[in-house]
A = this chain, B = another copy of it.
């Protein structure tokens, strides 16, 4: 029996969250709904313009690991922080959920990554990420035994932004497959897909990646089309299993010729979409590694995403295990 259900690998980031109006985004040339990469200088400038904020551990794959642990799954995480206060916060939050996290911080420069996340009145989040210590992640941070002992190794497309993380991913995927495990990725962001389209397609078509998570915009960007059905059909050919989130329309899962629609969870109030995709992946992979049906996996994903978008911040403040039990899903 493998030790871990899911290992996730990603940029280890502390989120700095504040509300703003739409004019703030356009005045500051922030692409709404996207992950905007910024350097240290722009980080300082934007922070000086940001209103009072709250801080919470984030990072796409970190949020997914946290979600799996909250559901009662066994999770591990690789990601790089610095030896500073934000790094300490990141380590604390993920470990306190029982997630295996042993990537060693080395020094204080560059500092732990942070993402300034502006939440507009419609609940949409626009991220501005300074990668900091994440640029140091490389193959030397791959814990071979952890990869070998994880049913699924999952990583962010965002890892193509720092210089050497992709080498870590290729190494982890090799170890995973050697041990008969599966490899999953999220396409992360439509602009990220734009930056690395050819490499992402190669990861899928070469069999480096088995399972792909995406939202509608990311799949359309991947295949450079406006025809969603065509893109979904292509995705089904390019990977073994695809899970595509569709906001208020729920999700659709494709595996070969199978196509499973999943309804969205009803929500009372959309507060902040931060973490929605990450938590969908958490719920889905929790179900998947427990051997559940694709529909159940999708429902667990939609439930988890539905909870995180009704609060401020990227990781659920309530027990997902409790919520899933109440919903009759576990």
Contact = CB atoms under 8 A, between A and B. Distances in A.
Interface of A: 16, 19, 47-48, 50-57, 66, 84-86, 89, 92-94, 96-97, 111-112, 312-313, 315, 317
Contact of A96 (B51, B55, B85): B51
Nearest to A318: B19
A56 to B, nearest CB: 5
A56 B54 contact: yes
B92 A47 contact: yes
Contact of A85 (B84, B315, B317): B84
A301 to B, nearest CB: 20
Contacts of A93: 52-53
Q: Ordered nearest first, which 10 A-B pairs have the shortest CB separation? A: A55-B55, A85-B85, A52-B93, A54-B56, A51-B96, A52-B96, A85-B86, A52-B97, A54-B54, A84-B85
Nearest to A18: B96
A215 B89 CA distance: 33
Given A52-B94, A84-B85, 11 more contacts: A48-B92, A50-B96, A51-B96, A51-B97, A52-B57, A52-B66, A54-B55, A54-B56, A55-B89, A84-B84, A85-B86
Contact of A50 (B47, B55, B92, B312): B92
Nearest to A99: B52
A11 to B, nearest CB: 18
A279 to B, nearest CB: 14
Contacts of A85: 84-86, 111-112
Contacts of A112: 85
Contact of A313 (B19, B54, B66, B86): B54
A112 B88 CA distance: 14
A288 B40 CA distance: 43
A317 B19 contact: yes
Contacts of A94: 52
Contacts of A92: 47-48, 50, 52-53
